[in-house]
Structure 1
């Protein structure tokens, strides 16, 4: 009889948990949430403007409960412009202006407000900084280009937004994260120690670079073109004097946009989240520089099943170079690393790439998802430095689960 009563209590607890989770889902936007921009008009007088002169912008959700004094600041990605004409064209579009992209952005993944999908950071203050300078928030040229009317002020944008956030309460943060994806991931690496210095009294400040570890791969085809491209970014935005002296004192400044030459000198704990088959790097930093922008490569990059055996081998060669680059880094105990084998670029603001174990192809290492691995690393529950060295072939991990199936996966993990 006692055994039966215990079984009934266990089942009741299970169904209560399901009910609570169901109610939580009904009262939250399980697909994420759109958050309106804050246009920082006050920054214009400081010269902190986008390529086209428009004011910087960010989206902000206020923290609550135990997260009221904790902050996540996310830097949007979107590549770079590498010449006057390229930046002029960019200034008219999505990544060169805050006036061409509506007035809101989408919060999910690391920025999700749903505890089910984001248990470690759901109730923190969360900020999404719009990317509109084409320099990973690094440029600071006083004069406006007289030929193109383009303004290069990415560093001023970063500083102006930080000043506004500090006034909103970030100066009293107990815990803080600076994160970014792609060009924002590179910006995270470049600004990591500076961000830490803004809140010296915080108990814990760490950085997360998502798909921002762009490799030099000097022994792979296209190395000279990769060097030339980043040299042009440095020259166009006059970044040489703003890049870390720990790098520029040892090598050409154009090589100081390659994180392999930077991360060894970063003092703040840094998490490197990557795919060994980073789809952006494979296409734009490897295939196109080495072989040209051909329809055959575009088809392969879009759908791995259309790749020839030769193309697959070249992609595998990139993986070897990528892993070798990471393995040459100094052994830093505070550094986290999650390097999988899915053919992807960008993870942490996508629910399917962040939450539970539901991504088709499983973005899981050591039986941990990205969100779990980063959460454990951030809160010092356990270290995490793992590279998938077993899967030598790129995997399609785009996923086909519905939102309902994703919810069931997450609920199951609460049991």
Structure 2
């Protein structure tokens, strides 16, 4: 189901979203939700945290893109214990009951050639996120009074089975993409997608803001390693991690949930789109509240870069170096991979028109993200772009939401 925005809604949208140019607002595309067939969900046991059916938004391709597919994982964090998962199950992050039933397709999902020249006429699908483990868990919790489904892996499979008869089974080209927790899901499912498609189909993967570092926080604690480890254990993710990766990390196979440990085992071509100062990682991996609770020295810096002290900027530059170091083997040795690592303070850049492709979009070596991804996917030239350090890039807006 596709809904085009009305004139009244257009006025409301412009009022509520003043960052949109008039040209962009005229091309808003609202796509309705399709629920996974009940029969498919029952066979696979594919349910959201609260037991509701999973859903996706599908806009059919046309013209030269009619046989090509773009699948976009939705992001939205994780839940790593029973309380956080119970809470999540009562929100749009854990239940389709609370989700918006129409979604705006913009950026890489846009159907306008001038705003998305490479993928505008492909079949484009947004896979809604309702499990809390990057579409990778496979377990269930039931103590007789409360029931939680940790079925992200089954949700992924059910959505694919739903889309195969709609044309995915005959795909000639495919791009698996995703943002944030959805970007992490790209690393986890990149090779798996090929198993459902024709042997001669071209399958590539784009992770946006999904390269979460296995890094210590400012208090020298493994905060994110602990969180991710709890997600893997609680939701039964380990069985769905790459076996070559887990066998190489026998002392702690859960670490394969981190992209930097899993990336070298992925066979399909991967494009890593990330900022070197990812805002989510800045706030939750490098400076989580637990590490700055007493002094609150980072309170203002976290939401306004201009207030950061020289020492804090040095810490951020060290984090950038840690990310580049983790990506260096991929940069050096991958002949099919691509990269766009800019120095903006942002999180997720492919779904927003302003950062994907616009007159003032972030650029590295004069290239926009959309241009870099296009050059990589269609193999026009090598596309591995790494920005200089903050504050060198004037195309970065560096607006951090409170």
1:255 aligned partner: 255
Contact 1:54 1:98 in 2 (8 A): yes
Structure index of larger Rg: 1
Quote the Cα distance in structure 2 between the aligned partners of 1:73 and 1:298: 37
Q: For residues 256-297 of structure 1, what are the alpha-carbon distances to aligned partners after superposition, in whole Å with 9 as ceiling and x for unaligned?
A: 111111110110000000000011001101101532497653
Quote the Cα distance in structure 2 between the aligned partners of 1:294 and 1:157: 43
* Cα deviation, residue 218, structure 1: 5.0
1:304 aligned partner: 305
* Cα deviation, residue 326, structure 1: 1.1
Quote the Cα distance in structure 1 between the aligned partners of 2:223 and 2:338: 30
* Cα deviation, residue 299, structure 1: 3.2
Contact 2:85 2:132 in 1 (8 A): yes
Number of residues paired by the alignment? 373
Q: How does 1:128-277 map to 2 (within 5 A)?
A: 128-141=126-139, 144=142, 146=144, 148-217=146-215, 221-251=219-249, 252-277=252-277
Q: For residues 215-270 of structure 1, what are the alpha-carbon distances to aligned partners after superposition, in whole Å with 9 as ceiling and x for unaligned?
A: 11259644422221111111111212111111111211221111111110110000
2:345 aligned partner: 343
2:8 aligned partner: none
Contact 2:208 2:349 in 1 (8 A): yes
2:119 aligned partner: 121
The root-mean-square deviation of aligned C-alpha atoms, in Å, is: 2.4
Change beyond 3 A, Cα 1:219–1:48: closer
Unaligned runs of 5+ in 1: 1-24, 401-415
Q: How does 1:292-331 map to 2 (within 5 A)?
A: 292=293, 297-329=298-330, 331=333
Quote the Cα distance in structure 2 between the aligned partners of 1:169 and 1:74: 16
* Cα deviation, residue 387, structure 1: 1.2
Change beyond 3 A, Cα 1:222–1:86: farther
* Cα deviation, residue 163, structure 1: 0.5
* Cα deviation, residue 365, structure 1: 1.5
* Cα deviation, residue 324, structure 1: 1.3
Contact 1:138 1:242 in 2 (8 A): yes
Q: TM-score, normalising length from structure 1?
A: 0.84
Quote the Cα distance in structure 1 between the aligned partners of 2:143 and 2:280: 30
2:97 aligned partner: 99
- 1:88 counterpart = 2:86: yes
* Secondary structure of 2:72's aligned partner: strand
2:368 aligned partner: 369
1:404 aligned partner: none
* Cα deviation, residue 392, structure 1: 6.1
Change beyond 3 A, Cα 1:396–1:379: closer
Contact 1:70 1:125 in 2 (8 A): yes
Quote the Cα distance in structure 2 between the aligned partners of 1:27 and 1:358: 14
* Secondary structure of 2:192's aligned partner: helix
1:380 aligned partner: 379
Contact 1:88 1:150 in 2 (8 A): yes
Unaligned runs of 5+ in 2: 1-20
Contact 1:234 1:253 in 2 (8 A): no
Contact 1:222 1:286 in 2 (8 A): no
* Secondary structure of 1:198's aligned partner: coil
Quote the Cα distance in structure 2 between the aligned partners of 1:345 and 1:229: 19
Change beyond 3 A, Cα 1:394–1:94: farther
Q: TM-score, normalising length from structure 2?
A: 0.87
Query: Which of residues 60, 69, 72 is equivalent to 2:70?
Result: 72
2:32 aligned partner: 36
